[in-house]
């Protein structure tokens, strides 16, 4: 278990260093997560220690939603006042995401079928 935690902290530290010196606009933990995913894709497996730590962390993901829920309750009057704009932004972003994803999939599938 310690080995898995060290691996996660190593990639987060690498992400922090890259964020500090090369990509200051991106958060270090996000860069570290991307590096970890790339490393796991290259290895094509997740070792037992890392899987144990990841399973342990995933049991507590619900706690991450507590601050968001408190924020929603705290700003409920503002959310009610701007409900139409928020709904339009959400629906518009979903439509744009689905549309752009479809275009990318169509483009990539045509490249694969040409080869």
**For residue 3, what are the contacts with CB-CB under 8 A and spacing of at least 6?**
47, 49, 50
Residue 114: the pLDDT is 64
Query: What are the per-10-residue average pLDDT scores of the chain (115 residues)?
Result: 89 94 90 92 89 87 84 90 96 97 90 67
Residue 54: the pLDDT is 87
The token pair that represents 31 in the structure block:
């860069």
Look at the alpha carbons of 22, 23, 29, 31 in this order and tell me if their dihedral is positive or negative. negative
d(CA 12, CA 27): 10
Give the residue extent of every domain in the chain: 1-59, 63-115
Q: Does the pTM of the predicted model rise above 0.75?
A: no
**For residue 110, what are the contacts with CB-CB under 8 A and spacing of at least 6?**
none
């Amino acid at each position: 278990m310690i080995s898995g935690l060290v691996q996660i902290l190593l990639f987060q530290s690498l992400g922090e260093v890259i964020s500090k010196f090369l990509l200051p606009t991106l958060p270090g933990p996000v860069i570290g997560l991307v590096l970890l995913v790339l490393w796991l894709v290259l290895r094509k497996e997740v070792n037992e220690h890392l899987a144990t730590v990841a399973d342990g962390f995933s049991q507590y993901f619900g706690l991450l939603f507590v601050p968001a829920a408190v924020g929603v309750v705290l700003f409920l009057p503002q959310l009610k006042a701007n409900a139409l704009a928020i709904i339009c932004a959400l629906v518009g972003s979903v439509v744009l995401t689905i549309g752009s994803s479809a275009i990318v999939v169509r483009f990539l599938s045509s490249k694969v079928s040409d080869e």
